[in-house]
Amino acid sequence: MKTPKIIAIANQKGGVGKTTTTINLGAALAEKSKNVLLIDLDPQGNASTGLGIDTKDRKVTTYDLLTGDAAVGTAIMATTVQNLSIIPATTDLSSADIDLIANQKRSFLLRDALRSDDKTLAKFDYILIDCPPSLNILTVNAMVAAHSLIVPLQSEFFALEGLSQLILSVRDVRQTANPNLRIEGIALTMYDRRNNLSLQVEDDARENMGDMVFKTVIPRNVRLSEAPSFAIPVLEYDPTSKGSIAYRSLAREVINKSKRVRASSHGA
């Protein structure tokens, strides 16, 4: 039975393009005939809203998965995007830190919930987890459940400072709970080629992180900003926009990297 590749989209800083990346990378992978499940692990539920899931329709959510009140199969909802499904979130998640504090396995709840239903998940090629903008118990759950991380990095001053804190967290999770966790790649977001600061951040990131930085950069793009208000990915809102082209390119990189990892593991 095939197992999906699980990627957490994480950065403890807010406003760096996490949810935008999760939605549009998911849509771009789906466009390439990959079956994708998006897990909304952010109490704000923006990924759910951005894919047209009305709050009143979120009957079973990621909170129910974490508390053990629901199985994966009952939580998955279809979206208007072909090949793209979602497990939605509500503000219930905001109390997860407090509600789960007494649970000794609190860091493993999402991993265990996903593992308990291999059959349902076998139809998916990718699972993308949209993390909250903090290094709390929800983000730790995502890191423990995931094979790898994509880190959206806003092209602005201090961006790399936050990155070093995230990398330390990844190291902690590797040592304690998920030794195979790795960084899939760093995606530069809100990139403006006319802006010297964007160029400087890119140079610094590539110099410090090397091949870990995706070749694709995600531009500042009006269409990317507008698409969520229509509750669809930018690839549906304006398929020819710079944002759509960039996320298609990022999806290609992710698919190619997956193929290389599979090939090397088979050759080992």
Contact call for residues 79 and 57 (beta carbons, < 8 A):
no
Tens of pLDDT along 158-195? 777 778 889 999 999 999 999 999 999 999 999 998 88
Is 155 exposed, middle or buried (CB count within 10 Å of its CB: 0-12, 13-18, 19+)? Answer: buried
Is 47 exposed, middle or buried (CB count within 10 Å of its CB: 0-12, 13-18, 19+)? Answer: buried
**Beta bridge partner(s), residue 213:** 186
Residue 51, pLDDT above cutoff 80: yes
* The listed CATH number (3.40.50.300, 3.10.590.10, 3.30.40.230, 2.40.128.260) that belongs to domain 5-267: 3.40.50.300
pLDDT of residue 268: 47
pLDDT of residue 183: 94
Whether pTM > 0.85 for this model: the answer is yes
Mean residue pLDDT across the chain: 91
Residue 260, pLDDT above cutoff 80: no
pLDDT of residue 255: 95
φ/ψ of 250, rounded to 5, equals -65, -40
126 Cβ contact partners less than 8 Å away, ≥ 6 residues apart: 4, 5, 6, 7, 26, 29, 34, 35, 36, 37, 254
Tens of pLDDT along 189-216? 999 988 888 899 899 899 988 999 999 9
Residue 15, pLDDT above cutoff 60: yes
Percent over 90 (pLDDT), the chain: 72
Cα–Cα dist 83/27, whole Å? 8
Tens of pLDDT along 235-252? 999 999 999 999 999 999
Cα-Cα-Cα-Cα dihedral of 15, 18, 20, 21, to 10°? 140
Tens of pLDDT along 70-83? 999 999 999 999 99
Cα–Cα dist 242/220, whole Å? 9
